[in-house]
Amino acid sequence: MFKGVGTALITPFKDDLSVDLDSIKKIVLNQLENKIDALIVLGTTGESPVINY
C-alpha cells in the first residue's frame, strides 16, 4: 500500500512541441526539495497518449 504524498507531474513542452527536459528537471527537483514521497509521470490523465516516443 502506498503512503505519503504523490504528485502527478505535468509534461512541459517547448514551442516546437518537443519535451522540455530542462523544465522537467526543475519540476522534479522542486518536488524532491519539498519532500514529495512519489512522482507520477506519464499517467493516464496527462499527455502520454499524444507523445511520440
Query: Which helix (H) or strand (E) covers residue 40, if one does?
Result: strand 38-40
Q: Are 42 and 48 in contact (CB under 8 A)?
A: yes
Q: What's the sign of the alpha-carbon dihedral 34, 39, 43, 46?
A: positive
The pLDDT value recorded for residue 1 is 78
DSSP, res 31: H
The pLDDT value recorded for residue 53 is 60
The pLDDT value recorded for residue 52 is 67
The pLDDT value recorded for residue 6 is 93
Grid cell in block for residue 15: 514551442
Report pLDDT digits (tens) over 1-53: 788 999 999 888 899 988 899 999 999 999 999 999 999 887 776 666 667 66
The pLDDT value recorded for residue 42 is 77
pTM for this entry:
0.75
